[in-house]
Chain A
Amino acid sequence: MDFDLTEDQKEIKNVARELLSARSPWPKVREAAEADAYDAALWQEIVGLGWPGIAVGESHGGQGLGAVELAVLLEELGYACAATPFLATATAAAAIQAGGTDGQRERWLPGLVAGELTAGIGTAELAVDGHGADVIVLVDDDGARLIAGADAETELLRTIDSTRRFATVRGDGEPLNGDVADRGRAAIAAEVVGISQRALEMTLAYVKERKQFGVAVGSFQAVAHRCAQMLLHAESARSTAYYAAWAADAEPSRLPEAAALAAAAGATAAREVPASAIQAHGGIGFTWEADVHWLYKRGEVDRALLGGVKRHHAVLARAAAQRVTVPAG
């Protein structure tokens, strides 16, 4: 039993944290979001580091690592709220690696890893980076499909989250195998861990600094307890997201339930932690300049991408019931 990142995984995390804090501070995120565009220079750098292919096999130009390493990077991109197509590109690539045929891998992965092709991922109603993508991974209750961009009908969808692009997608495509949908949920849940952590840290910094009635507002129990609750949500998301990522790599038979756990805890954290951050910032938190709203907006859209708490609770109720022997009568 060792429920912790390995030294190598921590190293990936630290490198990502350092790079993104230098290259993607809030002014850069704001600049991109206000222009409704990605940060092209940052994306080039990320491609150069090989991050889009983190969970793609080496034979296709990837790094040959797994879902945990992908989760670690997604967490850091979420923490930075970076305006890049990383989530869609890296998660779609990981999905094709895990559930695609040899032909599909050969056709799409080298281009995605090299940043020469673009990918979208999500549902027909909400696919991140779906508009104009070269390849789209679509997930629904029946499983996952891969649609070549040329065969898809997409429409740009403007959401509250302008750090990223979205689309509605129509098209049939080819089925992807197995647990691609659950891998996608696990990945989005990992991004939520970073969003929550950042929202919590920004809040802590603010309530330690901001004084009212002659004292830091963080010394009021009502504020302090709200922060404690934020930590509980964030750590619940972390425990389940890491579990799901680990299951995707090491124990795929546990993935359906683990992904539902991560999605349900992630959906809660994605909303509650940034919403609390806005509240704890007071009037400032409601202003455009305070930047916590980018996390809230991204969190709400991630929650929608995760596919609704009700579905996950239903999956979990079935999983729990399967383990229980019901006495006759």
Chain B
Amino acid sequence: MTVNTIYFTILTFSFRNIMTIFRRSAYSKYNTLSGSELVPSVSLLVPAFNEELTVIENVKCLLTLNYPTYEVIVINDGSSDNTLEVLREEFGLEPLPNPEMRNSIDCQPIRAVYHNPQYPHLFVIDKPNGGKADSLNAGINLSHYPLISSIDADSLLEKDALIRMARMYMENPEETVAIGGDVRIANGCLIENGAVKEVSLPRKMWPMFQAVEYLKAFLGGRIGWSAINGLIIVSGAFGMFRKDYVIAVGGYRGGYPGEDMNIIIKLHRYMLENKLKYRVAFCPEAVCWTQAPDSYRILSNQRKRWGRGNLKNMIENYDMAFNPKYRVMGLLTMPYNIIFEALNPYFKITGLLALVGYTLLDMTNWKILVVFGLINILSGYLLSIGALFLEELAFKRFTKVSDLARLLLFSALKFFGYAQLGGLWRIQGHIQYLRNNNSWGTMTRTSWKEESKAAKTA
């Protein structure tokens, strides 16, 4: 009940801001800004591990963004497939004899930097496998611009996504240390030439649940958290950062998943400890489309990894919780994440077991069990409806009436199995953490062309 009350409060903040977001998006034209020298330059960092199927499409998409000055740095993180080879072949890349790495942040030594003067804004770093954080750090060391943007190699940015973020940055450049973008599920969409041409919901069950989940988390949650400057994560799939501050906090933390949450916690800590005015913002109109896992095995691996990363971050930064020095982060975000995110599955299980136990022991009756179960489900469903409302008010990405019906249906269905699996995966992630199991797990990719073919035939 408490968790739902907090959710509702955050949702209220999201509602308070949604019309400003809608108007900002609707009444801003980017044609002048996207050709202006006044827009800050950005280095796009794209860590890639075994991404041979999607990386070409993604790099092409990134090279054609509406943005005045930027560079794309792909970091091949010791892929065992042909990621590097396909990149070299497609873009005619050759190794630079003396690549200039700035070594601002500790990272593994690189093998080579590839470049082709015909694509002056594309660089590919080849390095031994060291994880996503290490790749991002290597990218920062090569980057030439004051802003960096991390982008997953399995994601597609909308053409205006970067300029929308830059506009938000330019509204308050001194205080903005990081901006998160909205991540949406591309499964089921029609993709042509590295861009989403037709938005549609996924046809398969697992991505569909994730589509509902992402809508709730990004629109219902992150808009509200960012309104009170309590955002704890900028998705690794798409975020923009001020490079000087990322370097000041020592870059990304390697060795564990959850580096996207970790860097934001470190930024909050650094800014608050140094009494600097700052904001971690969320820009929902800057959209990045990502391939969601479409099988149980891959999804469970991903969620276990998230569970491990979350626990590690909470343990590393437990001192911030309930500490007024860290303001909203210390008094709300961290306690909320420790109690209601990391420990949530344990509360759920113990609560459920207690209720079942009371019923079996005849200390209470089935009616109470049903009533509290219903309250839990209905209040959760109400939150999902709130998130769909935000979508409908400001973005309207899914145009068909049947899409709305499906979203409503899956928002209800997720309480019967999917939500419980989420708790189970999180606990399994915690067990992996305690066992020091730190593998990334299996992650298979589908080519965007395959995705698109499937969308066309549907």
A binds B: no
Q: Which residues of A contact B (CB under 8 A)?
A: none
